[in-house]
Amino acid sequence: MEKKDNQQDNKNTFKKEGKAKTAAKKTVLIIEDQDAIAEAERIILQDQYNVHLASDGLEGLKKVRAIRPDAVVLDIMMPHVDGFEVCKQIREDPSLNHVKIVMVTSKNREHDEQKGMGIGADDYIMKPFEPVELLHVLQQMLG
């Protein structure tokens, strides 16, 4: 009984702390067509950021304009509209100047790194990556 009460208390405390943190938390939008990866990224980031998900480029562009996140974790290989196009359109919109973009790819690094950086990505992370790498890149960018 005591244990259950303790757990309940902990949960309440966590919720309160969570709400307090939410106010200060920055927002990250994950644009990733692979549900499993998107979910894992959400779990990694949820403690420190407000996380939103978009499952393809089109949805991602809509959500960027609606949510106006602080950072976008952007997959490159996506159907219909790929990560490069999403990045380009974000950079073409002056009202989204503040949005930091981290590109996530599994393609040939030399080429994509140059291309991504060329069209306005702020950083780059290569699949597969460790959770700490993603956190580190975002912390470097968002402080």
Partner 1 sequence: MLSSLIVVFHKLNAFLSTISGELLKQSVELVLLTLVGYMLFVEWRKKQDRELKYLIVGFFALAVARLIAVLFLSQAVFENFFKLFLLDRFTVLINGLEIFAIIWIANTFMYGISDKDEMRKKLRLETLILILGIIFMEVLWVIRLQHLPRFGFLFNLPFAIFEGVKLIILLYPVYYRFKHKVQDVYYNKATIAFVVYSFTPLFNLIRHLFFHGVSGKLTILAHPFPFLAVVLFIRAIFLKLADKRLIETELELTKKKYEETKRLTRIKDEFVSIVNHELRTPLTSIKLYLALLRDKKLGPVTAKQKTAIETMNKESNRLLALINDILDVAKLEDKDADKNVKLNTRECDLHTLLDHQAYKTLADEKYITIVNKIPKGFNVQVDGERFQQIFVNLFSNAVKYTPEQGTICFGAVRNRIFKTWQFWIADNGRGIAPEHLKHIFDRFYQADDYLTRKEGGTGLGLTIVKHLVELHRGKIEVSSQLNKGTKFVITLPNNIN
Instruction: Give residues in contact with partner 1 (CB under 8 A).
Output: 34, 36-37, 40-41, 43-44, 77, 106-108, 110, 127-131
Supply the minimum distance, in Å, between the C-beta of residue 116 and partner 1.
16
Amino acid at 37: I
User: In the complex with partner 1, which residue's Cβ is closer, 88 or 107?
Assistant: 107
Contact indicator for 8, 33 with CB cutoff of 8 Å: no
User: In the complex with partner 1, which residue's Cβ is closer, 55 or 96?
Assistant: 55
Buried b (16+ CB within 10 A) or exposed e, 90-105: beeeeebeebbbbbbb
| Strand partners of residue 37 | none
Supply the minimum distance, in Å, between the C-beta of residue 55 and partner 1.
14
Supply the minimum distance, in Å, between the C-beta of residue 96 and partner 1.
27
Q: Hey, is 95 helix, strand or coil?
A: helix
User: In the complex with partner 1, which residue's Cβ is closer, 10 or 106?
Assistant: 106
